[in-house]
Structure 1
Amino acid sequence: MIETASMAGFLAAHGIWSVSEGEALIPIFAYENPLGERFLERMVADDIAEGARAAQRALEDNEQGATRAVMVVDAYVHKESGPVDALLVEAVEYGLAPRSLTVAVLYRPADQPGGFAVFSPEFQGFDGDDAEFERVADAFFAGVESHHDASEVWAAHHVRTV
């Protein structure tokens, strides 16, 4: 799951970079094949919701025979204060016993009062034990940092709490 979490972090950072100036995120689906080659697809559709459904289907179906895949979609996370914009990142490591990681990266859009902000990610699901989770979370953040341009945007706009 370490490589999968790192890939998820890289793509989460890419998504944050994409929405940092107020643009809508076209859903992203990326995968790595057994040779270690990575591919990224923007799930362009008539509306964002259809693109998100296409990314979800691609993640579930694994028609590419990938070893791992990640989807990033723009959505809302519901908090006590109401809905909050978020990039939902779902990563799967395929195999005999597929494992997954789900992370919500909450953000404040650029057109909102206070301008663009990125909040600390919320790890919402992980198929593993507590001991492994710390390594997986570290790998996610290492993936964020590996996307040089995007990690600079993330760091410049990071706020700890919503």
Structure 2
Amino acid sequence: MIETARLAGFFTAHGIWCVSEGETLVPLIGYLHADGEYGMDRLMYDDYAEGVRAGQDALADGDPSWIGAVLVADGYVHLDQGKTDALIVEAVQYGPYRQSVQLAVPYRTADDPRGFAVHKPKFMNADCDDPEFDALAEAFFVGTTSHTEAHEVWEAHLDESV
């Protein structure tokens, strides 16, 4: 699950980079091949929810060439502060048995008077045998730093108060 957590970090950082300028993220699915190469598809549909459903179906079906895949979509999460914009991330590792993890990365939009901000990821609905969630979190952050341009945006706008 470590490789898939890195994959999730990479594509979540890409998503943060996209929303940092005020746009809604087109749902994207990123995937890892056995040779270590990443691939990505944007799920452009007339209806946003239809794009997300297509991504969820792709995760559920998988692809024989994928070791892991991640769906990143724009949405909301409910926190103590109320309904908050967030990237919703679903990651699946394929193999003899599937493992998955879901997390949200809350953010403050660019049109907020305080400006754009990225908040701490919130791990949710983890379904994996690896009890070492610290290792998964570390791998996720290694993935975010591997997307150099996006990581610069993330770090420049990090607000860990949420």
Normalized against structure 1, the TM-score is what? 0.93
For 1:58 and 1:90, locate their aligned partners in 2 and report how far apart those are by CA, in whole Å: 11
For 2:55 and 2:29, locate their aligned partners in 1 and report how far apart those are by CA, in whole Å: 6
Match status 1:83 vs 2:80: no
Q: CA deviation at 1:83?
A: 0.9
Q: CA deviation at 1:79?
A: 2.2
Unaligned regions of 5+ residues in structure 1, if any? none
Match status 1:92 vs 2:72: no
Written as runs of structure 1 = structure 2, the 5 A alignment for 1:1-150 is 1-126=1-126, 127-130=128-131, 132-150=132-150
Structure 1 residue identity aligned to 2:134: E
For 1:146 and 1:114, locate their aligned partners in 2 and report how far apart those are by CA, in whole Å: 28
For 1:85 and 1:53, locate their aligned partners in 2 and report how far apart those are by CA, in whole Å: 19
Please list the CA deviations of residues 134-161 of structure 1 after superposition, one character each: whole Å capped at 9, or x if unmatched: 1111000010011111001000000012
| Partner secondary structure for residue 77 of structure 1 | strand
Residues 7 and 32 in structure 2, CA contact (< 8 A), matched pair in contact too: no
Please list the CA deviations of residues 65-121 of structure 1 after superposition, one character each: whole Å capped at 9, or x if unmatched: 411101100010012432100001111001121001111100000011201000011
For 2:161 and 2:75, locate their aligned partners in 1 and report how far apart those are by CA, in whole Å: 18
State the 4+ residue runs in structure 1 displaced beyond 6 angstroms: none
For 1:80 and 1:103, locate their aligned partners in 2 and report how far apart those are by CA, in whole Å: 17
Pick closer, same or farther for the CA change 1:59–1:36 going to 2, 3 Å: same
Unaligned regions of 5+ residues in structure 2, if any? none
How big is the alpha-carbon RMSD for the aligned residues of Structure 1 and Structure 2? 1.3
Count of aligned pairs between the two proteins: 161
Q: CA deviation at 1:64?
A: 4.7
| Partner secondary structure for residue 159 of structure 1 | coil
For 2:87 and 2:42, locate their aligned partners in 1 and report how far apart those are by CA, in whole Å: 15
For 2:36 and 2:80, locate their aligned partners in 1 and report how far apart those are by CA, in whole Å: 42
Normalized against structure 2, the TM-score is what? 0.93
Structure 1 residue identity aligned to 2:10: F
